[in-house]
Amino acid sequence: MGVLTDYFRAPNAAAVVQSLEETDGGSPLHAEPPVFDGVDAKRVDPVVVLGQLVAAIRRTEWRVDLVEQTTVWATSPEPGPDGPESEDDPWATGPWVSELHPLRPVP
């Protein structure tokens, strides 16, 4: 299975964490009613695919850091170099939520 990505707008990271805690990690887009507005974007990960789209629109070369992001969820400490300690660790099972930062102006 590929990466199943949802993109949504939220007022802040705290609202996202609260939504995920209330839905046991379920997507805010698939709650009844949806918590935030957004779109399902299967296989459009923020680093590679979205980054390539942004690079094409900007007519620049793609770089891995073109779309900057900060982890919002999982809220537990990130696993060490050997990965998650158990299969139940949220870093092993997901979901993972990242806040995408505004794009920097093109030089």
**DSSP string for 17-67:** HHHHHHTTT--TTSSSS-SS-EEE-TT--TTTHHHHHHHHHHTS---TTSS
pTM: predicted TM-score of the whole model, two decimal places: 0.73
Instruction: Give the pLDDT of residue 61.
Output: 92
**pLDDT at position 1 over 60:** no
Which carries the bigger pLDDT value, residue 56 or residue 96? 56
Question: Degrees (nearest 5) of the Cα angle 15, 24, 43?
Answer: 80
Tell me: the pLDDT tens digits for 25-84? 788 888 888 889 999 888 888 889 999 999 999 999 999 989 998 888 877 777 666 666
Question: pLDDT band for position 96 (50/70/90)?
Answer: confident
- Going from N- to C-terminal start, the domains of the chain cover 6-100
Question: Degrees (nearest 5) of the Cα angle 99, 103, 106?
Answer: 165
